[in-house]
Each structure stands twice: as structure tokens, then as C-alpha cells.
Structure 1
């Protein structure tokens, strides 16, 4: 008889009694909802950047970032919940399915989050974050779990004020208030969610569930890799075919393949081992999580750039467009450099050199067609991939050496 190695649990607690392993079907179902909202984020940014009489390109990019960051916080909290609680239990499954519905509301609100659906967007975020943390703090039986989620709830109660007031305001006031909410949440998270009498705790589940969390972040990154292919493919079907657009499609595909390869060669395959071998696994895991979110932001930004290249064959490239096309790969390389430091306690020279090259090309390439800009970005990524291959040939058995 074959015995399946699954987490143990008893009737008195929803907590996992063993280490979290691979994602369950309900967690993968939640990830499907992420496909929808990531696609909506790309479409929203593309539509506003491509509109000749719309908002400033820089304003669009800032607003898109403000929409991206809370989405990632929702995904992170959901993943931490399923790492701590047994997702085979109906109550936990119900929480995840409710989160799927919340992400769906996000998706249908994101295009008008700075217009007529601001209340729906902000309200959904507060209900999901504050509501879930409050429910867990009231229902949890383990004192340390109850205290942790009560700290989270106290902070989300504070954060809800600028979110909701901003939803009722218009223009720059809304953007400023929402930016303040995101900043406060980021600082609270970095400081361990400190609350008087409840203290603070920087430790997290990375110390005990490194393999599970590394796999979950990789799954989300793989979903984001699919977004450029999906987006540029849909765009290609909506415009007349031409040699220009066929070439743009090929460049978009090759760029996505290069981003994928740069991640998995080789540090991306060793994240969990590096976290487990680190002197401070919880802290190292938190940094690894941030690195993945930065890379996802880079992939999504790259996807917006490919859409601009595919649909608008202009004779010149606006500065905001060249910024998006080149900043996407640059942001990805920033996250990949951080991940490399987590795994090897160093950053190889081609990565920062590639970041500098991409940033330096933004202004000069604003004078050439968008396809040339995306081609230049692909060449930079190709050179880094070649350098990685040469290094791996010189050091074929390099093992993780985390800081």
C-alpha cells in the first residue's frame, strides 16, 4: 500500500500539523482569478497610454502601480493563510473562494478605479484584508496566530481610512491618499506590524514553509509570464497583419522566453534550498518574496510595452512608451538581481550592467520606432542570458550560499 505524505490535522484546529507541501486545487483556482486581473491591469495601462488625449503617461504608470501593489498584498495574504491553515478544510476553502470573488470584483473595477468605481475597488480591498484578518483573529485557537492576525487587523483598520476617503475624492487627492495607504501598509509590513501591547513580529512562515512558499511565488511568476503571450496574441488578432506586426510578435515571444530563462537559470530553481540554508530563513524568505513581486511587476510592464509596439506602428516613440518598453525588462532584472543575492550572496556583473544599459537607452531610443526599442531590450536580455550560460559552464555545480 502506498501512503501519501499529506499534512496531518485534527478535529480541533484548522492549522496544518505538518509542513505545507504543494498547492491544492482550491489554491490553483484562486490563481486563475489572478490571470484575469493581471490581464485587466495590462489592458487598462495600455488603453490609457495609447489614448492621445488621455492622462499624462507618467500619471498612468503611477496609477497602475497603485493598483498592482494592493493586488499583490491580497495574493500574499491568501498564500500565507493557506500555508498556515489546511486548505482541505471547508472553512479554509470557503475563505479562498471568497477571495476569488474579491479578485473578480477587483478585475471589473480596475479600469475605472480612478473614476466611477473607486468605492468598489477600495471597499473590496478593505473587506478582503481587514475582514479576513479580523475573522481569523476572532476564530483562531492558537494564541500566537490570534495575536498575529489581530495585529494585522489593527493596521488594516488604520489603512482603510485613506483608502475609503480617497475613494470619495477625485483627481490628485485620490491618488495621494491611496499612495499614502500603500506606503503605510508597506512600512507596517517591514516593521512587523507593531501594535502597542501586542508587540511586533518580523518572523513569518518562510521559516517553516519555505518550499511551499517558493513554489507558490514561482507559480504566480509563471502566470505572469503567460500574460505577455496572451496579451500580444490577442492584440495581433485585432489589427491587420503586416511584416512589422509579425516581427513585433516574434520579438515579444523571444523576450518572454528570455525573461523565463533568466529566472530559472539557475537561482530560480534553488530558492527554497537557499532559504532553508540561510542563517535567518524568515528574513531571507521575505526578501525572496519581494524579489518575485518585483519580477512580476517587470513582466507586466513588459507586456504593456509589447502591446504598444504591436498595435501602434508609429514613426517615433513617445518618451513614456520607450520608458515602459525598456523599464519592464529593467525592473525584472532588479528583482532577479535581488533573488541572486538571496541565493548566492552576490550579484553577477551582467545584471546591473543590463539595468544601466536599458535605462540609458530610454531617451535615445525615443527617436526610433517602437519595434526598434523592443528589439534593443531583447538584445540586452540575450547578452545577459549568454553570460549566464558561460558562467554556469565554468561553475556547473555551484550550490546556494545565502547571506
Structure 2
């Protein structure tokens, strides 16, 4: 039986048909709970180092946080594509998802020392989740075209496993370079359709058959991410003596999170699935929309780190690394949001581009003022962009998607 009670088409095995994968099941929501944990660990890890060493080690930890974020997003994406292609109500598919939950849990407990004592378990867990799971699906799959997809990706996962393992047993910049190179190769191979000699290459067409489902899953991921700034800044507030500056910082963090939510869901964020269905090339629109969501999640996580930093010392000196984190979070979010606007409406608002340029240009100058003032300016820029979106909505009510 499928999600809506109908039976799968004969000969299609576990492959879902168009219209069947439109809502997440409980096992998928269970997987999202593990994502909450590891996102909070990424924020806590970066925050701890930036507080202790904002100048020297701060820049390095930001690079490490990004490098840990990228494989996490690959795990989430592969799991989401798995449940979009196969029926998650089947016990075997549920077993794959639950195994992914455990893998993400291991990720989370390894984050703090992923570039130190726990490098081996971190790398081995990632290899098991990507290469191991892909191998199992390619062996158990009953649909030839689906098996070829997983066999092609398995070849690439096997190749990238080598630098992951070598990096796990090396140290310092060598490990960072090997892991970063492995992620670069993996993302490039995915974008090219996992090309393999004799097996060919094909870009994922799941957005053509499960656009609404995938759009909903990316929306859920973004909502999970938006909960992280509220959670982390609330915890940070309880761990320091209250003061008028810290109360103000809490209000600014809340306002910023609300604005990020507003900027995402205002029209474009709600029309991702409809835009993919209306596009002449749904797979292309879907891939760009998916990448836009991951970029926005990175922006939200970076913004959350900035909020925590402000809460600790709202009225003191702002190190350059702090100013960078506080402002680059909204910048990255706006870049992702601009990509989403383009694939939904084939345009990018001037206010969004102006906001990106303004925030990026202010990173160095605003290092001269207290952190609370820096975060307040970032929130003001977001507010002006949101106001521009509202004015446009009044001029163009009921706007429909016009994907490129």
C-alpha cells in the first residue's frame, strides 16, 4: 500500500509514482529530531571556540564548522531522496532511515572532536551512511533504473571514502584538505549526475515525480533550522547574569529569527513545489531550489552562532571574527533566498541584492562598535527587505510561480 492507500504500480517495486509522496511520515519526522541535535552541536562547538579564541582559532573553527555542515547536508539529502523514491512505510525503508538517525547521533557526539580524537569514528560513520547504505540499496533494489542510479553514486562514494579514511588518520591541515577535497568531489559528482564509464550519467529526476513532497521536506528542514537560534540563544541567556543589554540582545535575536522566517515563507517559500511542477525542466528547478535551502540553513546556523556571541558580551569590544559571523549569517541566508526567488519567479529583488552588499561591506567597519549594535543593524537590514517584500505583495497579490 502507498501513502494514499493505493497500491504501487505493477513492476515498479518500491518506486513511488507521481502524487504519492506528498507528506512526511513519522519515521521521517523522527529522523528530523536527530537533525535538531547535531545542528545544536555545530552551533555550540563554534560558539565555544569563538568565545575562547575569537581571533586566531576562530577563523579555523568557522572553516571546520562548514566542513562538518556539508557532509551532514549530504546525509539529509540522500535520506530525503530515499524516502521520496521508496515508500517509507515499508519496514526495510524504515530500517534505513532509523540507521541514519543513529548515524546522525554519532555525528553529533563526534562534532566537538571530529578534527581530533574522534576523527576516525566520524569518518567511518559518514562512509557507512553514504557508501554502505548506497551499496545495500543497489543490491536490494528491484527496479533496474533505480539500481543504476545507486550503482553510479556508489562508485563515487567508494572513491571519496579513500580521502576520508586517510584524513581520519592524519592531522592538522592535511586532514582538513583531504576531507574538504572529498566533499568537493562528492558535490560536483552529484551535480553532474554521478557520471561513470559504461554506466553513463543522469541527473536526479525525483523533482519530476515528487515535487510537492520534496518541497515539503525542505520546508521542514528550514523550520527545524529556524528553531535552533531560539533554542541556543535561550540557553545562552540562562547561563549569564541578566542585564538590560542582554535582554535587548535576546529581543534582537528573536526579531531576527522572525524576520528570517518571514523572508523565507513570504510567497516564494510556499511555492517551491508549484514552481517545480510548472517548470519545463522540473529537475533543474528542484536541484537549484534544494541547494538554495541548504545555503539558507547554513545562514541560519551562522546567525545562531552570532546571537550566542552577542548574548555573552553585548556591550564589549567586537572582534573581527565576531562581526563576520554576526553579519555573514544574514548574508548567506539572503544569497540562498535570492536563488530561491529566481527559480520560483525568474527574478531577484533589488532589495535583497542591496542587503547582501550592504551587510558584506559593513563587516570590517562594524567591528568598531559593540556586538549588540552589530546585530541590531543586521536585523534592521532584514526588516527593510521584509518591508519591501510586503509592498510588492500589495502591488502584486496572488502572484503565481513563473520559473525560468
Same fold (TM over 0.5): yes
1:231–1:303 CA contact under 8 A, matched in 2: yes
1:52 shift after superposition = 2.7
Q: Report the Cα distance in structure 2 between the residues aligned to 1:226 and 1:161, rounded to whole angstroms.
A: 36
1:58–1:320 CA contact under 8 A, matched in 2: yes
1:54 shift after superposition = 8.2
Deviations 1:143-177 (A, max 9, x none): 10110000111000000011110011111111011
Q: Report the Cα distance in structure 1 between the residues aligned to 2:198 and 2:96, rounded to whole angstroms.
A: 29
Q: Which has the higher contact order (CA 8 A, sep 6+)?
A: 2
Q: After the TM superposition, which of the residue ranges 12-21 and 144-153 deviates more from structure 2? A: 12-21
TM-score (norm 1): 0.97
Deviations 1:265-298 (A, max 9, x none): 1111111111100110001100000000000000
Check if 1:14 corresponds to 2:36.
no
SS at the partner of 2:314?
Answer: coil
Shift in CA distance, 327/197, structure 1 to aligned 2, threshold 3 Å: same
Q: After the TM superposition, which of the residue ranges 199-208 and 16-25 deviates more from structure 2? A: 16-25
Q: Report the Cα distance in structure 2 between the residues aligned to 1:203 and 1:67, rounded to whole angstroms.
A: 24
Check if 1:292 corresponds to 2:330.
no
Taking the TM superposition and a 5 Å limit, the aligned residue runs for 1:127-142 are 127-142=128-143
Equivalent position of 2:44 in the other structure: 43
Q: Report the Cα distance in structure 2 between the residues aligned to 1:265 and 1:221, rounded to whole angstroms.
A: 14
Equivalent position of 2:220 in the other structure: 219
Q: Report the Cα distance in structure 2 between the residues aligned to 1:397 and 1:53, rounded to whole angstroms.
A: 47
Taking the TM superposition and a 5 Å limit, the aligned residue runs for 1:343-354 are 343-354=344-355
1:163–1:181 CA contact under 8 A, matched in 2: yes
Equivalent position of 2:249 in the other structure: 248
1:298–1:327 CA contact under 8 A, matched in 2: yes
1:7–1:17 CA contact under 8 A, matched in 2: no
1:211–1:272 CA contact under 8 A, matched in 2: yes
Q: Report the Cα distance in structure 2 between the residues aligned to 1:40 and 1:204, rounded to whole angstroms.
A: 33
Equivalent position of 2:374 in the other structure: 373
SS at the partner of 1:56?
Answer: helix
1:10 shift after superposition = 7.5
1:300 shift after superposition = 0.2
Q: Report the Cα distance in structure 1 between the residues aligned to 2:57 and 2:359, rounded to whole angstroms.
A: 22
The total of aligned residue pairs comes to: 401
Shift in CA distance, 87/187, structure 1 to aligned 2, threshold 3 Å: same
Q: After the TM superposition, which of the residue ranges 220-229 and 311-320 deviates more from structure 2? A: 311-320
Equivalent position of 1:186 in the other structure: 187
Equivalent position of 2:197 in the other structure: 196
Deviations 1:223-254 (A, max 9, x none): 00000000000111111100010000000000
> What 5-or-longer segments of structure 1 have no aligned partner?
none
1:207 shift after superposition = 1.1
Equivalent position of 2:235 in the other structure: 234
Check if 1:319 corresponds to 2:320.
yes
> What 5-or-longer segments of structure 2 have no aligned partner?
none
Q: Report the Cα distance in structure 2 between the residues aligned to 1:5 and 1:204, rounded to whole angstroms.
A: 22
Equivalent position of 2:79 in the other structure: 78
Equivalent position of 1:26 in the other structure: 27
Check if 1:207 corresponds to 2:208.
yes
1:64 shift after superposition = 0.5
Q: Report the Cα distance in structure 2 between the residues aligned to 1:155 and 1:105, rounded to whole angstroms.
A: 23
Taking the TM superposition and a 5 Å limit, the aligned residue runs for 1:85-234 are 85-234=86-235
Equivalent position of 2:343 in the other structure: 342
Deviations 1:340-371 (A, max 9, x none): 00000010100010000100110110001100
